[in-house]
Each structure stands twice: as C-alpha cells, then as structure tokens.
Amino acid sequence: MSDLICSAVSCIYNINGVLCSARNVHIGIKGISNNIEDTDCETYLNRNLKNTLTSIVNTNLIGEVKQIVSSNEIEMSPQVICDAKQCTYNSGDLCVAKRVQIYGLKCEDSRCTKCEVFVSKS
Ligand code: SF4
Ligand code: SF4
C-alpha cells in the first residue's frame, strides 16, 4: 500500500490539506493522452452534509486511530486503485508507488485533482 498525501482541502476525506482518510481511492484517467493532467481522483467528495453520510462507508477508521497515536508516520494511507495503465507505477490496476501525491489545492470538484506522481511507461 502506498503512502498518500493530498492537498485537496475541499474534499471530505482530506485532513489538514495533507492526509486522506479514505479506505480506498480510485484514480481515474480522462481522455486518451496519458499524462498527469489527465488523471483525477474519482473518490473526491465535496464537503457537505449529504457527503458526510456517504463518506462513512469508505472511511479508514482504524487508520485514523493509528494516525492519532503516531504523528510522525503516515498511517492512514488508502489502497489506490488506478485506471492509468500507462503509468509506470500501475500494476494490475493497483498503484505500487511508494508515495502518491495528489494535487487538489483550490479544487472544487474531482476534475481539478491530479496525481502528481504519474510517470508514463513510454
Ligand atoms: S481528493 Fe482523493 S486523495 Fe485527496 S483526500 Fe479526497 S479522496 Fe483522498
Ligand atoms: S502514480 Fe501512477 S499508478 Fe499510482 S495513482 Fe498515480 S497515476 Fe496511478
């Protein structure tokens, strides 16, 4: 499982603009040209009451508890399922990168997010 950091503060799973509290994250790919700009986090959910309830089923509660007692390590990294087959770190639709970094600063929806670690196989 990859360590994951994410700057999408407007996502309901985001903690302090750094950590992701989701159990599973799905990285999608838009369009046909595979590059960083075409990736997005499809697990992104805007912060509102409806999504608070929706997000509960995918929240990494055990990771959150571990994170509280371990402030130096990333303990709540999600499993990252990824559609970007052209990425070097994609192995059977799972991400095997040691650390995944999701961009989401100032994003208001998932389309604005992207995986900054994407490296094309070609
Ligand atoms: S945008 Fe994706 S990676 Fe970032 S906090 Fe939300 S679900 Fe997690
Ligand atoms: S590093 Fe590559 S395989 Fe991992 S989530 Fe990002 S685009 Fe997908």
Residues 46-75 pLDDT 10s: 999 999 999 999 999 888 888 888 777 888
Q: What is the per-residue pLDDT for 89?
A: 96
How sure is the predictor about 38, in pLDDT bands with cuts at 50, 70 and 90?
A: very high
Mean pLDDT over 67-90 rounds to: 88
Report the alpha-carbon distance of residue 21 to residue 98 in Å, rounded: 18
Question: Which of 31, 36, 11 lies closest to 21 in space, CA to CA?
Answer: 11
Ligand 1 midpoint to CA 15 (Å): 9
Which amino acids bring their CB within 6 angstroms of ligand 2? 27, 39, 80, 82, 84, 87, 89-90, 95, 97, 100, 115, 117-118
pLDDT beyond 80 at 88:
yes
Ligand 2 midpoint to CA 69 (Å): 28
- What six digits make up the tokens of 22? 């989701």
Region at 31 (left for phi over 0; alpha for psi -120 to 50; beta for the rest): left
C-alpha dihedral sign at 45, 116, 27, 69: negative
With a 6 Å cutoff on the Cβ, whether 76 touches ligand 1 is: no
